[in-house]
Amino acid sequence: MDSVQEDQHPINRSSRSIIFGKYEMGRLLGQGTFAKVYYGKNLKTSESVAIKVINKDQVKKEEMMEQITREISVMRLVRHPNVIELKEVMATKQKIFFVMEYVKGGELFAKVVKGKLKEDVARKYFQQLISAVDFCHSRGVSHRDLKPENLLLDENGNLKVSDFGLSALPEQLRNGLLHTQCGTPAYVAPEVLRKKGV
């Protein structure tokens, strides 16, 4: 993980919020329990990015640092057109910054909520999802929380799998991690609910 020297603060408090002299941080895109995701721009290339900001103290308090480290390892391992790309990870004493590909089409959930998808559109999304999942599995990675809220769409209507926070790597599979209950109740597999393992 890249880190900043202690004497230099990564965020410039002028009218523009610049981190690490490299990215301008903009509007809040969304937030979860441990992280906020902001729109960002690479100052050198003008490329749009999403910046996930994680509070280290909160993560340590909840003993979730291992989960964050695992998410970084997994995202570096699974480079695929239908998986959100992790561009870089930076850190200060207080925060961890995930700089990721920015996908502006929103969540698949928002499309599904509006009503039934046309068959050809649904087929395309499903084929892209299967391609991403197959690739992840070929790398020994299990996502473990696939749901429409974690499937993003780019401006061309291509699907991107995101949020690898609950994913498992091969060594965790061997150590029985897939017998632990995780995921989102509405989408979790029956065998996980029955505590039979996968």
Q: Which residues are catalytic?
A: 145
* Full DSSP string of 148-194: GGGEEE-TTS-EEE---TT-B-HHHHHTTGGGS--S-TTT--HHHHT
CA atoms within 13 A on the CB side of 39: 10
Contact partners, residue 122, CB within 8 Å, separation at least 6: none
- Overall residue count recorded for the chain in this entry: 198
52 is in an annotated binding site: yes
- Tell whether the torsion through CA atoms of 72, 167, 115 and 117 is positive or negative: positive
Q: Are the C-beta atoms of 84 and 100 separated by less than 8 Å?
A: yes
Binding residues for ATP: 52
Binding residues: 52
